[in-house]
Structure 1
Amino acid sequence: MNQIDTVLPLTKPATSRKVLAAVVAGALLASGSAFAAEPYFSVNDKGITRDNQAGDGAKAVFGIAIGTVASSQDVGGISVGRLSSNKGNGSISIGVETVAEGSTATAVGSHVKAIGKQTTAVGQGASVESDRGTAVGRLSQVTKGADSGVALGAAASAEKRSATALGSGSTAGGVMSIAVGPQSRAQDTQTIAIGRAAKAEKVHAVAMGSSALAAGNNSIAFGTQSEANKYQSVAVGRGAKANHVSGVALGSFSETDEAVGTNEATVGGVTYGGFAGNAPSGNVSIGSAASGLTRTLTNVAAGRINATSTDAINGSQLHAVAEKVGGNAVNIQNLGNRVAEMDEDLRAGIAGATAIAFLQRPNEPGKSMVSMAVGGYRGEQSLAVGYARNADNNKWSTKFGVGINSQKHVNWGGSVGYQW
């Protein structure tokens, strides 16, 4: 068994053995090893003399060129395939019309090019044009200026420095952006798009989920078909939409509303004001007014209650206030009843005083008089009777009376007078 058979067992298919034999043969020639003529190595040029027909396609030391018009330009370079070429120490090109240009560049596949230092391009039509770039998959590409970019998957594309695109048709179009999933797109600086057709369109945006969209700077969309469309907006849940600056939509199909500040409120005709936190920068929604979707917010801790607090208040706190207010209401009702009673008594008393005031007295000396009078005030009434007498010399006079009002209270009064 010769050296080729040592590397390639006879059980290998003839076609693969021919190709691998060519590579191994070249390697052995480059290392100075000798072996007998191997009939499995051949190049069919249809009888037309082309470059490298004479085996002179390897131009530099340790270079290998196999195939019609194949060429290897620099030290240790390897080119295998028609019109394959490499330029740069240690560069490798394998495949029809495949080009590797740059130190240790590697291009494998039909019509592939790896241009730049330490680049790797694998797959039909794959292309890398920036240093340290890696493209694997049919028509995958790392474009010019996308140093250290990575594109893995059919038609995946890394277009800026340190960009990473994983998945068929994925695009990482921003510096240090990441796109993972078929047709995903991370289009600006440090954006992240993960999921089929996920899109992160603005600086630092993050979209995760099938067809998720983060369209605002620093926005986050998490969930299938979720959308965060404005600056610093957040949408979490299937179909959630944050359409306002700094808005947060939590839960499936939730939608944000415009943030509205409240500095005062009127309840029962009484206006309260001076509220803390009356200039909100955003809105948090756990439902949707447009679709009538509402949710309860449970397991909320008791918030602080003071003049500057902006904490949420839970049901138990409201219950405590309601109980206190309820007790106050009873007291207020009792007080109101007492005031009403006092008002009735007061009005009846005024009616009684009025009745007594209208009792008559005699006009002649030595005469006496008994009289009766009535009085009324704001719905209350009183009846009074009285006695009056003038002295014989008409110098002295006396008068007294008593009355009862509609509250069954008694009024009385009397007087003595002297005239001269």
Structure 2
Amino acid sequence: MNKTLIVILVIAATIITIAITVDYGSNRTVDWTESYNEKSNKPYGVSVFYKELPKLFDGQLMKTIYYSPYNYFYANSEDGYGDHVAEGNYILVGNSDYLELADVEELLIFAGRGNTLFMSDYNFPQSLLDTLNLTVKVRKTQDSIVELNFVHPHLKPKNTQIDKSDSASYFSRFEAENHKTLGYVNNDLNSTNFLEVPFEDGKIFLHLEPKIFTNYNILKDDRYQYVEGVLSYLPNENIYFDSYTKFFDSNYGDAEEKSNLSWFLQQTSFKWAWYLALLLTFLFMVFNAKRRQRIIPIIKPLENTTVGFVKTISNLYYETQDHKNLIDKKITYFLEKIRSDYNLDTTNLNEEFITKLSQKSGKKIETVKKTINFINWLRTKNEFFEDNLLKLNRHIEEFYS
């Protein structure tokens, strides 16, 4: 056995010993943050619920919405730029406080056209409550237990309870003659927490305990049966799952930002095994490079042909029909120029942004609105064609003309 191999084995044994010692003494903590993120496997993520939805609504289309209701429904309406008209069930679980007045109005329009809106949260935007003539109150619970009960006798066997809850929300005011009570909490018929509200040609279902839809509760005992009972009120139609806040706000979960390797690096044993593998690979390369590495010839650096390179790459995208890449890049560069030229925040391309951009740029508001609405529409599409790219280019050229 040569000296090199002995050195490598000693280093490996030392690292393994340290890893075992650190892993043995480490304290693992559970993240109980209520993220309601459909990609999160943490206790209060909703990945299990999200994966089961296609089975519960068999044969129906399911779309995950990463845009605000105002932008999405505006694009996917009879008068919008979308490739379809949104119809079916809109489901929002947790984090409904992001909804602005324009979003609430679009959701009500969606429901009024014969569709179904389902929302589960501890409270709802005041504009929605005022429109439906509702009031929500919160009551402290005993022993951190909340009983969830159905009104319908066939669903009573699905009644359940959840733990780790120090309070329970209920509707203290609603129109009893028009609104239908579907469920209540803590065996108190006066504490309605699940309500059916007819709205024009559609229906709105409001539920006040979003934690029942999380991984922790669905996988514990038979609590999933209560979720099945709640969803049994929804028609078997297309599903639109709201994930706007979970996608854009890092406080609601990191599933969109981290790679698959991040989970392994959070596990001490896997982390040290990974680092050990990298170290051994590095040592192997170092000790073997002395004998096998050949003299590296000097290669004359290429001339600076930036413009030619850009033309080549753009032609490559265009000839390979990679319209999505070109559209994404044109939108990115256009918004970056707006930020640098006019010092505007381009996070939300809404009516307020359109007005500010028109004022600062001196462009007609019709021209600005047409350009921004077309960009919002493009962001809702998954498939792009040459015509989309040409129209985007014309809109941007018209804006700068």
Q: Scaled by the length of structure 1, what TM-score is found?
A: 0.15
**Structure number with bigger Rg:** 1
Q: TM-score, normalised by structure 2?
A: 0.15
- Indicate the structure with greater strand content: 1
More helix by share: 2
